[in-house]
Structure 1
Amino acid sequence: MDRHTSGDATRPDGTHGNGETVIGAPRTAPDDAPTPAPTATVVPMIPVPRTPVRDPARAAVVLRHARLRSDGGPQFCRPSRAEMSGAAPRRQGGRTDGKVIYPDRESAEQAGREFESLGAQPMRSYRCNRSTHGHYHLTRDTTSLARRIDVAARIPHQRSA
């Protein structure tokens, strides 16, 4: 029961049925005041994912470098309300919807390097066209992939008959 919105402040003792004080109820005499409850210990909030994480190492990289929401999870790129309603033209195609937002290029590049060390393909950062203040995303670096392929394998050879 929410003590801010429910209860009966007109009761003579100004409490709920379970004994909690109703906010806004008339104050009781100082000698009737209940003994103060012991203070609770405050522990730091550790972000916990809503769904199971498939790769905890990659999740740790994202939490280290991405822009975080107030609940501790990463922020994702999405169209503005005006873009979704059609009142404003879309600034970017749908390919960036749902991508993790990195606050600056350095964070995105560092996350990309850490993902590569975990076995991902080479990644590069780019500035999102949708962002007004400048945020970044990661994408596969196909030019780096082409450089990694052996040059001899890319040159076609004549087959013998």
Structure 2
Amino acid sequence: MNDQISTTAEAHENDVMPRIHEVHSDPEKGRVSVPPRLAEGTGRKSPARWAYERLIVYIQNFESQLDAEHEVAMGFTGGDAGVIRIEGMGYFDPDIVTFYGSDLGGAKTQVIQHVTQLNVLLRALPKQIDQPVAHRIGFRLARDLDTDGTDET
């Protein structure tokens, strides 16, 4: 049993997304900006949705630093999943995050992870030769944040 008493103000403060703080050797690189929708206290979210939304911020930031010849890929630690080109991402409440894409050989790939096991590596890969421009999934994912991300399908 928890005997700790919180004031209304403390409860509201605890409802806000944790602040992001990072320090880089080059202050202009790696700067992460949080979209207004994420910075707002939007009520209770599942661990899966929190992980999904924050990953979008990191992916979009990573992509913003890439040149036109590279696109983002994601590696997974703790297994043989390797690296996949990110083509989609989602979550399944309360605690599953899933990634869709293709591996380096072009095979269709889906990774499903519990939020407690989430460890990802973002990597820049050369864009595929047969495509005129590099894909930018981070910006499409960020649009999903702007629309509330409550698609129930």
TM-score of the pair, normalised by structure 1? 0.25
**Higher Rg:** 1
Structure with greater strand share of residues:
2
Q: Which has the higher contact order (CA 8 A, sep 6+)?
A: 2
